[in-house]
Structure 1
Amino acid sequence: MTFAIVARDPQTGHFGVAKTTRTIAAGGLDLYRHIPMMGLCLGISTVGRCQKVGAVMIQNGLDAQAAMKAMIGSDEFIANRQLAAIDNHGRIAAFTGESCFPYAGHIIGDNFAVLGNVLTSAATIEAMAAAYEASKDLPFARRLLASLEGGRDAGGQHGGQRSSDMAVFGNREGPLIDLRIDLNADPVAELVRLYEIFSPLVPYYELHRSNPRGLPRADDWLKAQQTASADGA
């Protein structure tokens, strides 16, 4: 009951994942594993076992295909799973089990993969891939959201979506961006709204993480940035 995108930004080396689903509060589920500077593994209709196996493979220097092979071999219920893996060279592997509820499928593109199940048609993931490809002028995180918007607008999933989330990872432990909407009539639109509010603060939080001494409060810092931007316009 989900459609999702995993991707790597070749300009920065950042990894990202975004998904939306009928399931309430799906952002809190254990669906992906990030390996700093090395890769990302995502599973749908699973609770983390496959992703852990794939992450270990990538961490040990193997590629996305090897990670996928290990994930598939680790789960007796693999016919019900959807999986994706991407490594730090942009190599991608994806899998859709034969018992996933239809429509289910995936598309692999240049440094990204889209996948989903219980979709109204293949048009959902086709539109996701097209929207991601067409948004190269946008920031990486916003491109992930554009993909979800494309899938939603092409029909989404049966019953509609109720929660949505995204995460972007840099070259350290933990996400640079980690946002979620647990319950909303249009969770993709609400996630976009939340991202637009949050994204200007990402540099501040990175500064605060490295050295908080002398930093103003977040609101004051943001106001100063906005003033400087307006003065330079």
Structure 2
Amino acid sequence: MTFSICVREQYEDDSGTEQTRFGVAVTTRLAGVGNLCPFVNEYGAVATQSFVNTELGEKGVEYLADGLGVEDALEALLNADDGSPQRQLHGVGREGEFAFSGDECKDWYGDIVGENYTVAGNLLTGEAVVESVAETYEETRDDDLPLAKRLLDCLAAGQAEGGDKREELHVQSAAIRVAKTEDEPVEPAYNDIRVDATETPIVDLRETIKLATESYEMALERYEEAYEEDEESGL
């Protein structure tokens, strides 16, 4: 019923310090996917889907924060989950990638593990959906656009290939979440954005990100000095 992507990227901040950002993006033909599937912190990104068990995502990022590798963390959770044959679980940590699709997931289902990213989907129109998501990420990962906007392009590419095959379900949703090791005076609002119930999730999410970007730029222009003073004073 869902397809999603998790990524890890290394970059340098304005001071030349090496930082890491993690992102996860997901869409489905049900409402409220942003509350169920995507999980992220400064240690990794995890997506849980196909008969969702939110504990897999919640504990997954907690285990990554505790220092476990992504493969060890997610395999441990699956081993303790009686419903694992029906699950899809994938993600990235500070090092490594992991993807699992249980053999009781609904066709078409499958996953891709690439360099610093994972993609998975189930109840899709076909393999081309996840392939297009992966190809779009690889083609855009060196672009200057914020990660959230590039992840949206990945979702759009998967949707263009058919996405979720259950066309009788008109209510859809989508979400994008990004976390960084870098501390910023103002966190961009588009790094945690979602649409919970709509017939056009990609279009609506794109408009929401556009408005969130405008809001972020306005906040920087008007309040950045105040935010920086608060950060320096520990408030």
Q: Taking structure 1 as the reference length, what is the TM-score of the superposition?
A: 0.80
How far apart, CA to CA, are the structure 2 residues paired with 1:126 and 1:213? 42
Q: Specify the SS of the correspondent of 1:142.
A: helix
User: Quick one: which amino acid aligns to residue 179 of structure 1?
Assistant: I
| Partner residue, 1:229 | none
Alignment of 1:146 with 2:153, yes or no, is: yes
| Partner residue, 1:2 | 2
In structure 2, relative to structure 1, the CA distance for the partners of 1:213 and 1:112 (3 Å cut) is closer
1:164, 1:188 within 8 Å by CA — same for their partners in 2?
Answer: yes
In structure 2, relative to structure 1, the CA distance for the partners of 1:198 and 1:56 (3 Å cut) is closer
**Deviations, residues 113-163 of structure 1 (Å, cap 9, x unaligned):** 111100000000000101111113132111111110110111111124711
Alignment of 1:127 with 2:137, yes or no, is: no
In structure 2, relative to structure 1, the CA distance for the partners of 1:103 and 1:83 (3 Å cut) is same
How far apart, CA to CA, are the structure 2 residues paired with 1:46 and 1:19? 13
1:53, 1:74 within 8 Å by CA — same for their partners in 2?
Answer: no
1:22, 1:159 within 8 Å by CA — same for their partners in 2?
Answer: yes
**Alignment partner of 1:99 out of 84, 104, 122:** 104
Paired residues in the alignment total 211
**Alignment partner of 1:54 out of 60, 65, 79:** 60
1:83, 1:94 within 8 Å by CA — same for their partners in 2?
Answer: yes
How far apart, CA to CA, are the structure 2 residues paired with 1:204 and 1:74? 47
**Deviations, residues 80-99 of structure 1 (Å, cap 9, x unaligned):** 1100121123x110100111
Q: Specify the SS of the correspondent of 2:135.
A: helix
Deviates more, 1:80-89 or 1:44-53: 44-53
Q: Specify the SS of the correspondent of 1:13.
A: strand
**Alignment partner of 1:196 out of 178, 194, 210:** 210
Percent of residue pairs identical: 29
**Alignment partner of 1:23 out of 30, 33, 36:** 30
Structure having the larger proportion of residues in strand: 2
Q: Taking structure 2 as the reference length, what is the TM-score of the superposition?
A: 0.80
In structure 2, relative to structure 1, the CA distance for the partners of 1:205 and 1:34 (3 Å cut) is farther
Deviates more, 1:189-198 or 1:147-156: 189-198
How far apart, CA to CA, are the structure 2 residues paired with 1:210 and 1:165? 31
How far apart, CA to CA, are the structure 1 residues paired with 2:219 and 2:79? 40
Q: Specify the SS of the correspondent of 1:183.
A: strand
| Partner residue, 1:167 | 177
Structure 1: gaps of 5 or more residues: 216-233
RMSD: 2.6
